[in-house]
Amino acid sequence: MPDFHVETIGSGPRVVLVHGSVGNGAATWESLRSLAERFELAIVDRPGYPPNPPLQRADFEQQATEIGELVRAGDHLVGHSYGGVISLLIAAQQPVRSLTVNEPPAFGVARGNPDVEEFLAKMRVAPGEPREYLAYFLPLVGSSLKLSDPLPPPLEAGARAAMVERPPHEAEIPLDALARAPFPKLVVTGGHNPAFDAVADVLEQRLGARRAVVPGAGHSIPRAPGYTETLIRFLESA
């Protein structure tokens, strides 16, 4: 058994869902729970995120190893944001049935792009307190979430978890290994941020990945109108 929380619902082909920063698995994938009618969903709460205990430091490489132990060869792997970086690393190391990543901040693959460099420069000066961090970070990624004061405990815990994550642009994505892997890949963007678009352009071209754009929710792509239908079509085609 993994030493982090995983909720499993539904039956059918297995889909492992790996959330991003700030929101845990339940918060990120709420809109996909209807997929349990035709898929088994393994909704991961990454180490450091509720209901798991907090961490002093989180690293995408370590979490790729930990969560990778949960992933089987016949699974569909879906990663959102920071979880997309983790999912890219997992899929480069072991076979999956398909790989979907929603705006992974794998900015290392697009260094030198002006929009990427501007985004990274802004993140380097992000505030160090949870509420101030969210007030700064969320608009950067196109979120319109209204923050209460004080923050709800789950949101404060998510902010603290995000603040101790290793910067995702440091990830070295094995593009060649992923390109050689025979399983289908899908890269999803929200059409709202040129830095994320730049990363997706590289992944689409280098991996031979399919591309989908689902606007309407900024970086919170699983909540965007049409995302669920887009994902179902891809999973069933795979």
Reported as a single tens digit per residue, the pLDDT across 152-202 is 999 999 999 999 999 999 999 999 999 999 999 999 999 999 999 999 999
Give one DSSP letter per residue of 204-234, joined into a string.
Answer: HHHHT-EEEE--SSTT-GGGSTTHHHHHHHH
Average pLDDT, the chain: 97
Q: What's the one-letter identity of residue 102? A: N
CATH architecture of 6-237: 3-Layer(aba) Sandwich (3.40)
Reported as a single tens digit per residue, the pLDDT across 36-75 is 999 999 999 999 999 999 999 999 999 999 999 999 999 9
Q: Indicate whether this model's pTM tops 0.95.
A: yes
Positions of E strands within 2-109: 6-10, 14-18, 40-44, 76-80, 98-102
Reported as a single tens digit per residue, the pLDDT across 130-144 is 999 999 999 999 887
Assign 124 a pLDDT band (cuts: 50, 70, 90).
Answer: very high
Assign 114 a pLDDT band (cuts: 50, 70, 90).
Answer: very high
Report pLDDT for 144.
79
The domains of the chain are located at: 6-237
Q: Are 207 and 179 in contact (CB under 8 A)?
A: yes
Report pLDDT for 1.
64
Reported as a single tens digit per residue, the pLDDT across 2-36 is 899 999 999 999 999 999 999 999 999 999 999 99
Beta bridge partners of residue 124, listed in sequence order? none
Q: Which residues of 209-220 are buried (b: 16+ CB within 10 A; e: fewer)?
A: bbebbbeebbbb
